[in-house]
């Protein structure tokens, strides 16, 4: 077996063991938590290179403690079974993985810190401070940033610095203000010199995603220079969206996309006679939606009232039942759900500025039609659901159906004012 796969299997088994140990009278959480978190990061990166997802929703052992102490896993045996079942499928998938199917997701060499160079124009002291603050935060989050404000001194050779820095960097952040775009197109000043170097590198590898255009202070219809005209950019012009855009930028640099590519399945038409009998499972399309927002209608009397919304880290397995023909019960029973709350006073998602301020102390909520339920998962994301309609056979309807609108806040944000 490939050494990387063997190492990943050991990590998965060790992660299982440490979760069981702390939940069954073993070592203290504070003693094992750093080891657990470090191994979790390693596991998630390795699984992503195999096109697989980590089934463990707990970001640390305190999250796991919150799960078993909530009253659902009252015995040591139930906790052992829960952990074993959680890891069973991914262990089987990793065991049968062929080494050649691995694909390195990051753009910098594996195991190395990504190095990023900032290409920008010195529009004003305020703009220079904004760039410096962004660079400082990226460095705090594990990105080795090269910034002229830190590196250059009086008498420094500016062209040599630009050429050496651009060559040594894995990625380049081009802060595209109106001034930057003008200077790049006209090949003026330092921006023009950097543009010539970058253009030469792009011509050597036209498919490269090395340059990340970042838009700020730019009201033009064309917001990037001509040489970056086909590149996907990040728009930082709306300050209220800064946190979400920053998380998107950070994930891209670290090669940790929010929505990872799902694993490739097998053709159902390949040697059907040789395939073992498949166990019956409910049609997943009836009880799940991978979109990050929308409206769903489902029969809550089936699938134990469960309906899954989102994908990857943004997954929320909701559980419902009818309370009447104008209200429903919502339950925080799924393993990855940290808690649920009623957004009292909110009539629409746009009324929710910070989902974290609401009361998540109960495992069951009973929203009426028009009310909003907030969900938080153990990865740290928030979702809002609004009850649109409830139909119940016990109250004279022909079907047991629930209709809800929902929106998942991406990039770790908890502000729903721009949802839907």
> What whole-number distance in Å separates Cα of residue 176 and Cα of residue 120?
7
Query: Is residue 271, in this structure, part of any structural domain at all?
Result: no
Clarify whether residues 242 and 122 are in a common domain. Answer: yes
pLDDT band at residue 31 using 50, 70 and 90 as cut-offs: confident
> What whole-number distance in Å separates Cα of residue 231 and Cα of residue 345?
42
Clarify whether residues 405 and 288 are in a common domain. Answer: yes
Q: Are 108 and 170 in contact (CB under 8 A)?
A: yes
Q: Are 208 and 170 in contact (CB under 8 A)?
A: no
Query: Is residue 275, in this structure, part of any structural domain at all?
Result: no
| Neighbouring residues of 273: CB distance < 8 A, sequence distance ≥ 6 | none
First to last CA, the chain: 48
Query: Is residue 64, in this structure, part of any structural domain at all?
Result: yes
Clarify whether residues 76 and 119 are in a common domain. Answer: no
- Burial bucket for residue 117 (CB in 10 Å: 0-12, 13-18, 19+): buried
Give the CB-side neighbour count of residue 359, counting CA atoms within 13 A. 7
Is pTM beyond 0.75? Reply is no
Clarify whether residues 199 and 225 are in a common domain. Answer: yes
- Domain end marker among 254, 275, 302: 254
> What whole-number distance in Å separates Cα of residue 203 and Cα of residue 207?
9
Q: Which tens digits make up the pLDDT trace of 185-215? A: 877 666 655 555 555 544 344 446 788 999 9
- DSSP secondary structure letters along 29-46: HHHHHHHHHHHHHHHHHH
Length of the chain equals 420
Clarify whether residues 95 and 120 are in a common domain. Answer: no
- DSSP secondary structure letters along 46-112: HHHHTT-------SSHHHHHHHHTTTS--SHHHHHHHHHHHHHHHHHHHHT--GGG-----SSPTTS
For residue 228, give the CATH number of its domain. 3.40.50.10140
**Which one, of 77, 186, 199, 60, lies nearest residue 121 by Cα?**
186
Q: Which residue has the higher pLDDT, 275 or 144?
A: 144
Q: What is the mean pLDDT of residues 394-415?
A: 87
pLDDT band at residue 131 using 50, 70 and 90 as cut-offs: very high
pLDDT at residue 201, rounded to an integer: 46
Clarify whether residues 153 and 58 are in a common domain. Answer: no
- Burial bucket for residue 142 (CB in 10 Å: 0-12, 13-18, 19+): exposed
Query: Is residue 267, in this structure, part of any structural domain at all?
Result: no
**Which one, of 118, 411, 101, 387, lies nearest residue 263 by Cα?**
101
Packing angle of the helix pair 242-254, 125-140 (nearest 10 deg): 50
Clarify whether residues 334 and 234 are in a common domain. Answer: no
Clarify whether residues 346 and 389 are in a common domain. Answer: yes
Q: Which tens digits make up the pLDDT trace of 138-182? A: 999 899 999 999 988 888 777 777 777 877 888 999 999 999 988
- Domain end marker among 234, 254, 274: 254
Query: Is residue 155, in this structure, part of any structural domain at all?
Result: yes
- Domain end marker among 101, 126, 159: 101
**Domain of 389, in residue numbers:** 284-409
Q: How many domains would you assign to the chain?
A: 3
Query: Is residue 154, in this structure, part of any structural domain at all?
Result: yes
pLDDT band at residue 103 using 50, 70 and 90 as cut-offs: very low
Query: Is residue 276, in this structure, part of any structural domain at all?
Result: no
Clarify whether residues 137 and 237 are in a common domain. Answer: yes
Clarify whether residues 156 and 218 are in a common domain. Answer: yes
Q: Are 364 and 341 in contact (CB under 8 A)?
A: no
> What whole-number distance in Å separates Cα of residue 360 and Cα of residue 332?
10
Clarify whether residues 364 and 325 are in a common domain. Answer: yes
Query: Is residue 356, in this structure, part of any structural domain at all?
Result: yes
Clarify whether residues 91 and 213 are in a common domain. Answer: no
């Amino acid at each position: 077996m490939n050494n990387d796969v063997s190492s990943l299997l050991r990590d998965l088994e060790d992660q299982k063991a440490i979760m069981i140990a702390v939940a069954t009278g073993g070592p203290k959480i504070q003693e094992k938590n750093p080891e657990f978190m470090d191994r979790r990061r390693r596991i998630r990166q390795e699984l992503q290179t195999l096109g697989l997802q980590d089934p463990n929703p707990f970001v640390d052992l305190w999250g796991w403690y919150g799960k078993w102490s909530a009253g659902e896993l009252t015995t040591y045996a139930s906790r052992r079974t829960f952990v074993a079942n959680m890891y069973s499928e991914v262990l089987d998938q990793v065991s049968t993985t062929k080494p050649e199917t691995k694909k390195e997701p990051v753009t910098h060499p594996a195991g190395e810190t990504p190095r990023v160079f900032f290409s920008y124009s010195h529009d004003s002291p305020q703009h220079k401070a904004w760039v410096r603050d962004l660079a400082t935060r990226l460095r705090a989050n594990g990105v080795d940033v090269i910034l002229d404000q830190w590196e250059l001194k009086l008498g420094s050779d500016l062209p040599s610095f630009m050429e050496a820095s651009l060559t040594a960097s894995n990625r380049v952040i081009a802060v595209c203000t109106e001034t930057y775009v003008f200077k790049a197109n006209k090949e003026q000043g330092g921006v023009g010199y950097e543009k010539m170097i970058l253009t030469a590198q792009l011509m050597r590898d036209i498919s490269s995603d090395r340059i990340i255009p970042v838009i700020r202070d730019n009201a033009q219809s064309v917001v990037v220079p001509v040489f970056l005209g086909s590149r996907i950019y990040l728009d930082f012009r709306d300050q209220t969206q800064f946190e979400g855009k920053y998380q998107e930028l950070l994930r891209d640099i670290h090669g940790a996309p929010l929505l990872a590519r799902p694993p490739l399945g097998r053709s159902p038409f390949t040697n059907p006679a040789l395939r073992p009998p498949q166990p019956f499972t409910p049609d997943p399309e009836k009880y799940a939606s991978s979109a990050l927002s929308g409206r769903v209608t489902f029969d809550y009397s089936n699938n134990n009232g469960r309906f899954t919304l989102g994908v990857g880290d943004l997954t929320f397995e909701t559980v419902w039942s009818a309370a009447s023909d104008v209200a429903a019960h919502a339950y925080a029973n799924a393993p990855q759900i940290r808690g649920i709350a009623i957004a009292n006073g909110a009539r629409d998602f746009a009324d929710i500025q910070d989902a974290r301020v609401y009361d998540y102390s109960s495992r069951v909520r009973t929203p009426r039609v028009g009310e909003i339920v907030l969900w938080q998962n153990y990865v740290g994301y928030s979702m809002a659901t609004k009850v649109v309609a409830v139909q119940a056979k016990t109250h004279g309807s022909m079907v047991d159906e629930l209709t809800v609108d929902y929106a998942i806040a991406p990039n770790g944000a908890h502000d729903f004012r721009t949802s839907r």
